[in-house]
Amino acid sequence: MTPASLLDLLLQPASPDHSGDLRAFLKQWGPGTPASSSAFERLVQVALRADGRLNAGSAGHQAAIRRLFPTTPDDAITAFCVSEDQGPKPSGILSTLTPKGDGFVLNGRKRWGSMSPLADLLYIAASIGQKDGRNQLRMVKVATGSAGLSLDSSGYGAYAGHMPIADLILTDLAVQASDVIEADAYEAFIKPFRLVEDVYNTAGTQIGLLTLGRTHGWPQELLEDLIGLIIHAHAISQTPMSRPADVLLMSAYFRASSALWDRLGAAWDLVPEAERAAWSPQTGTLGVAARARETRRQQAWASFQVA
């Protein structure tokens, strides 16, 4: 997708989907979009119809997973399941993937499986053992409804209005060899996911705000700046999103996004109260990983030090 075609897509007439059903929303607007390495066109198509932060953020979350797993079926809702009792750090991933016959058996428990209660397909991190003192991890594709998989959302009642969350209990779950992704799961998927998700989630929110602002007569300067930030996010999506130079481009994007959010101010008064609540303006647009992003930014600049 070129910047010109992205501009055309952003400025097409779009009406928010007020169905109130997140799964139906993602199923309605996601499938049928041409595949791309960035998954950005699909993100735009979905987020333009978001009626609040939940739908816009979910569109970004799904686009981030598709960015990392581009062979995801066109109509699938997905979840990226890594965290356990010790969080997402590699040494704390204790779920096991054990060879059995021509395939494997998956056992363990996952915490904080965002979107898993609605998902058709789960990408689950598991250990295949230790090598040179390092936990060796693989991502495993698991269809929801598989024997040996159960979900427990009882611990997440306080998160109403967020993406639905559940723990995953994995008990002797049979896995075909073709459903194990051979790449190092930490380097290829877990390490980049937070930055990728933050970019796509923030862009999804901005795309939804563009529809909101056009509907309610926001100042043209704000709308133009939103368009500029979305174009910036698209440029980021065309990079590997892992090199030091890519991290610097992301840093500029997040800083500008935060500044624009602070400038919205009186524009919120043009939006009916119920819609304002759906967009939760007091919470800002950025993800929760500001400290991790700052560490990556400093490391990126260190790699460019002049001798």
**In this structure, are 179 and 192 located in the same domain?**
no
Residue 282 in this model has a pLDDT that exceeds 70: no
**In this structure, are 166 and 192 located in the same domain?**
no
**In this structure, are 196 and 290 located in the same domain?**
yes
Residue 34 in this model has a pLDDT that exceeds 90: no
Given this model, what pLDDT does residue 161 score? 81
Given this model, what pLDDT does residue 83 score? 96
**In this structure, are 126 and 256 located in the same domain?**
no
Q: Are 241 and 192 in contact (CB under 8 A)?
A: yes
Residues spanned by the domain of 277: 3-69+188-302
Residue 284 in this model has a pLDDT that exceeds 50: no
Given this model, what pLDDT does residue 225 score? 97
Given this model, what pLDDT does residue 245 score? 94
Given this model, what pLDDT does residue 291 score? 77
- Type of residue numbered 35: A
The answer to whether residue 307 is domain-embedded is no
When divided into structural domains, the chain yields a total of 2
Residue 66 in this model has a pLDDT that exceeds 50: yes
Q: Among residues of the chain, what percentage have pLDDT more than 70?
A: 95
Which among 128, 153, 183 is the end of a domain? 183
Query: Per-residue pLDDT tens for 37-53?
Result: 677 989 999 999 999 99
Mean pLDDT rounded to a whole number for the chain: 91
**In this structure, are 39 and 130 located in the same domain?**
no
Given this model, what pLDDT does residue 14 score? 86
The answer to whether residue 200 is domain-embedded is yes
Environment class of 204 (CB within 10 Å of its CB; exposed 0-12, middle 13-18, buried 19+)? buried
Residue 290 in this model has a pLDDT that exceeds 80: no
Q: What average pLDDT does range 183-197 have in this prediction?
A: 93
Residue 30 in this model has a pLDDT that exceeds 90: no
**In this structure, are 102 and 162 located in the same domain?**
yes
**In this structure, are 63 and 192 located in the same domain?**
yes
Pairing of strands 121-131, 78-81: parallel
- Residue 118: which CATH number? 2.40.110.10
**In this structure, are 32 and 131 located in the same domain?**
no
The answer to whether residue 143 is domain-embedded is yes
**In this structure, are 192 and 283 located in the same domain?**
yes
Q: Which of 39-43, 44-48, 92-96, 198-202 has the lowest mean pLDDT?
A: 39-43
Rounded Cα distance between 166 and 114, Å, is 7
**In this structure, are 65 and 192 located in the same domain?**
yes
Which among 134, 159, 183 is the end of a domain? 183
The answer to whether residue 196 is domain-embedded is yes
Which among 132, 165, 183 is the end of a domain? 183
